[in-house]
Amino acid sequence: MWVEPFNLALDAPLSTAHGGITERRGFLVGVDAADGTEVGLGEATPLPGWTESYENCRAVLDTAASDDGAQPDPAATPAAAHAVELARLDARGRRESTPLAAICRHEAFGDADAADTDAEPIPASVPVNATIGDGDPETTVRAAESAVSEGYDCLKLKAGSRPVDRDIVRVRAVRDAVGDDIALRVDANGAWDAATARRAVMAFADLAVDYVEQPLPADELAGHRRLRGLGVDIALDESLAEASLSAVVDSDAADVVVLKPMALGGPLRATRTAAAAREAGIEPVVTTTIDAVVARTAAVHVAAAIPDVSACGLATGSLLAADLAADPVTISDGAASVPTDGGLCGAGFDALGR
């Protein structure tokens, strides 16, 4: 196993609940068979607040590389675990001429055979949402209209940095501008208290918002449960970095869970989490952690492995000023194409290998 660091600048600084992001530092991880016929590539791009630190990730990957590719602990170092699991799955997919999505669906959802042509087919593309930043109403409407003109029929609006009444005005302005046929989601990144969140959810119900993502801080599962049933679904994102899916299920806290393969420890672990969520009556949505092209491609495969998945947050490549390689996934008319070659994208990333 080999490990190589990379550093990618963002096209523009991005504000998140855990602070501003200006770059993404991570590691490519490769596994090679003794005869050189099976090559797999993985990516670890840690994001503090979601995963281990960059330094911890590097130390664990270096240890794994010197210990015959030992699997890192996904609970302690999920980004490192993601890289190693992905590299091995990519190698397996290339060896078996089977796309990563088919392997993940077979392992998580129990299709008869990952390459069985009689099983439910992996889709050619998966729906994706456009993410609209937390600007003033006029800026928000312009961005929403631009996204709709590009073919998106699902928009996620960032919220929570201003008084809630202003966010309600922003969301109403977008609804008026794009009409009733466009799905709207609102992401508060845990910014509200219980009273504010309840006010927002009840107002958004009148605007036919599909779901509100993380209205309360991550550890407030009981508070999220009390927000359910008010006319807008409740989605949990940051809470999954604090609690397990089983804790979310036991708390009856969510209608939707937002799954980040990098934060969960690997594409197969993410797909299995999606299957468990479905079993519990919770809908899964897949998003990236502003990853480089290798992990983004893996996240597309994870989304494709989930039958009838709803729009996912996978159109994030444009946030980077430059990338590691050409993207094998195209974003068009609100959908991301799913690579059909073995593993991630067949030999598409061979230039990144040693």
**The dihedral of CA 187, 312, 310, 274: what is its sign?**
negative
**Distance between CA atoms of 169 and 138, rounded to whole angstroms?**
11
- Catalytic residue, chosen from 94, 106, 185, 260, is 260
- Catalytic residue, chosen from 58, 94, 158, 301, is 158
Q: Spell out where the chain has E strands.
A: 2-16, 19-32, 39-44, 125-127, 130-132, 154-158, 183-187, 211-213, 233-236, 256-259, 283-286, 331-332, 335-337
The length of the chain is: 354
**Distance between CA atoms of 100 and 90, rounded to whole angstroms?**
7
Structure tokens, 39: 């090559």
User: Phi and psi of 327, rounded to 5°?
Assistant: -80, 120
Does residue 286 contact residue 295 with C-beta atoms inside 8 Å? Answer: no
String of DSSP letters for 273-301:
HHHHHHHTT-EEEEB-SS--HHHHHHHHH
Q: CA of 63: how far to CAs of 57, 59, 68, 69, in Å?
A: 10, 6, 9, 8
Known active-site residue 156 = no
Catalytic residue set: 158, 260
